[in-house]
């Protein structure tokens, strides 16, 4: 399936690392996916990321996991979610989202 291979791809990992570096350099950043915006804050004293504002939903949880634990942890969590919920339904929903920072 294309989505599962995309999630485990080098470009997915690289993209997350680019987002992470940009937010760390600026101290904060907003990421919007499908109309939901999550504000991410970087704490330079301990090198951790947290979310501010928003509803603390799934997008926030996934982004914080990826930024704090790395692309592999995020990939594994997303793949687990897809296998738990039926990949075909999730693939359509995820691929239809617009992502911007």
- Give the model's pLDDT for residue 20: 93
State the DSSP string of 1-36. -HHHHHHTSHHHHHHHHHHHHHHHHHSEEEEEETTE
Distance CA 47, CA 80 (A): 27
pLDDT tens-digit series, residues 41-99:
999 999 999 997 666 688 899 999 999 999 889 988 988 888 876 654 545 555 555 55
Q: Look at the pTM and tell me if it is higher than 0.75.
A: no
């Amino acid at each position: 399936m294309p989505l599962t291979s995309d999630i485990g791809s080098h470009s997915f990992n690289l993209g997350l690392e680019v987002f992470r570096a940009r937010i760390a350099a600026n101290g904060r950043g907003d990421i919007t996916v499908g109309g939901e915006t999550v504000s991410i804050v970087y704490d330079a004293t301990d090198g951790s990321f947290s979310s501010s504002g928003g509803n603390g939903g799934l997008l926030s949880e996934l982004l914080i996991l990826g930024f704090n634990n790395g692309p592999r942890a995020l990939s594994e969590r997303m793949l687990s979610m897809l296998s738990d919920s039926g990949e075909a339904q999730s693939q359509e929903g995820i691929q239809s989202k617009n992502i911007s920072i």
